């Protein structure tokens, strides 16, 4: 394990206005997302962040588990309560992925990218993932919890057999990265972007620039079917636009993508 994460260490020099106002750090918890949802229901403030060194029941998308050996990763969930329509919820996931790739670039110099919809890729392998959970009240979002897991100082041999090739900053850089420094850089960026989203800015163009998926031949698994085509674009709601072999365009809002010719 590298340096431990503590509330004091994270707060040191963290000049954010909303994100991190409430901050919990757990040595071990079932899932930071589960905890953040409980806090949301109890009325915790906008910007509350839950961090853990280890999770006993870390959750991934589509009912999958999320594994990370204690002290090797950044495991966090951010509770946001913007006064916006439910259709804009994807903007919150977009800003966390943007903040993640930018913070990784700043702290390690490594060129992370976003894989639609919610993965962080590095050199074609999975470096991290996001799980967003939300609740709606009337015609507004009540809360959004964006959970992020990033393999920072993970020794890849410690991972269980997984079908998706994974990597870590340690594996790519050949040296450990300070998780506290990375976390502060991440939270600062989320805070900046979140201020803009609250006044109506859409991160769609900036997010699109960071997508590894566009222009690639893809296989897309949706809850209804599996389709193959060319990932052409994303729209403002974050949906993937796939050009099918018959020339038609399919809009996919929920799904999982494999870049064909790659294993991720
Ligand atoms: C995925 O790629 O399937 C999404 C993984 C999301 C994992 C993070 S780790 C912190 C937060 N707490 C959870 O239980 N899940 C998310």
Q: Which atom of ligand 1 is nearest to the CA of 58?
A: 14
Q: What is the mean pLDDT of the chain?
A: 94
pLDDT tier at 223, thresholds 50, 70, 90:
confident
State residue 162's pLDDT score.
65
Instruction: Compute, in angstroms, the gap from residue 130 CA to the centroid of ligand 1.
Output: 5
State which of 28, 29, 33 you would mutate to test the pocket of ligand 1, scoring each by most atoms of that ligand within 8 A of its C-beta: 33
pLDDT of 1 over the 50 cut: no
CB-based pocket (< 6 A), ligand 1: 31-33, 55, 58-61, 64, 66, 75-77, 119, 129-131, 147-149
According to the 3-state scheme, what is the secondary structure of the chain?
CCCCCCHHHHHCCCCCCCCCCCEEEECCECCHHHHHHHHHHCCCCCCCEEEECCECCCECHHHCECCCCCCCEEEEEEEECCCCCHHHHHHHHHHHHHHHHHHHHHHHCCCEEEECCCEEEECCEEEEEEEEEEEEECCEEEEEEEEEEEECCCCHHHCCCCCCCECCHHHHHCCCCCHHHHHHHHHHHHHHHHHHHHCCCCCHHHHHHCECCCCCEEEEECCCCEEEEEEEEECCCCCEEEECCCCCEEEECCCEEEECCCCC
Instruction: Compute, in angstroms, the gap from residue 19 CA to the centroid of ligand 1.
Output: 19
pLDDT tier at 262, thresholds 50, 70, 90:
low
State residue 263's pLDDT score.
54
State which of 37, 59, 68, 96 you would mutate to test the pocket of ligand 1, scoring each by most atoms of that ligand within 8 A of its C-beta: 59
Instruction: Compute, in angstroms, the gap from residue 16 CA to the centroid of ligand 1.
Output: 23
Q: Which atom of ligand 1 is nearest to the CA of 52?
A: 10
Of residues 161 and 57, which shows the higher confidence score?
A: 57
State residue 6's pLDDT score.
96
Give residue-wise pLDDT tens across range 15-37.
Answer: 899 999 999 999 999 999 999 99
Point out the least confidently predicted range of 197-211, 220-234, 247-261: 247-261
Give residue-wise pLDDT tens across range 109-155.
Answer: 999 999 999 999 999 999 999 999 999 999 999 999 999 999 999 99
Instruction: Compute, in angstroms, the gap from residue 244 CA to the centroid of ligand 1.
Output: 31
pLDDT tier at 163, thresholds 50, 70, 90:
low
pLDDT of 261 over the 70 cut: no
């Amino acid at each position: 394990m590298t340096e431990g994460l503590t509330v004091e260490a994270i707060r040191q020099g963290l000049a954010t206005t909303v994100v991190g106002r409430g901050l919990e750090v757990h040595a071990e918890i079932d899932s930071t997302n589960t905890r953040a949802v409980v806090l949301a229901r109890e009325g915790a403030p906008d910007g509350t962040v839950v961090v853990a060194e280890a999770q006993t029941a870390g959750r991934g998308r589509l009912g999958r588990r999320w594994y990370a050996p204690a002290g090797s990763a950044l495991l966090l969930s951010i509770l946001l309560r913007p006064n916006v329509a439910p259709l804009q919820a994807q903007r919150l996931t977009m800003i966390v992925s943007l903040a993640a790739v930018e913070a990784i670039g700043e702290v390690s110099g490594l060129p992370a990218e976003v894989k639609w919809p919610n993965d962080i890729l590095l050199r074609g392998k999975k470096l991290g993932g996001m799980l967003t959970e939300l609740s709606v009240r009337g015609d507004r979002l009540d809360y959004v919890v964006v959970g992020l897991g990033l393999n920072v100082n993970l020794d890849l041999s410690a991972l269980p057999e997984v079908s998706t090739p994974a990597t870590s900053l340690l594996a790519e850089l050949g040296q450990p990265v300070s998780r506290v420094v990375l976390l502060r850089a991440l939270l600062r960026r989320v805070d900046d972007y979140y201020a803009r989203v609250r006044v109506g800015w859409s991160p769609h163009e900036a997010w699109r620039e960071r997508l590894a998926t566009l222009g690639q031949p893809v296989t897309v698994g949706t809850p209804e079917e599996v389709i193959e085509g060319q990932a052409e674009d994303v729209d403002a709601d974050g949906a993937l636009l796939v050009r099918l072999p018959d020339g038609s365009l399919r809009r996919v809002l929920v799904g999982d993508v494999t870049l064909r010719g790659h294993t991720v």
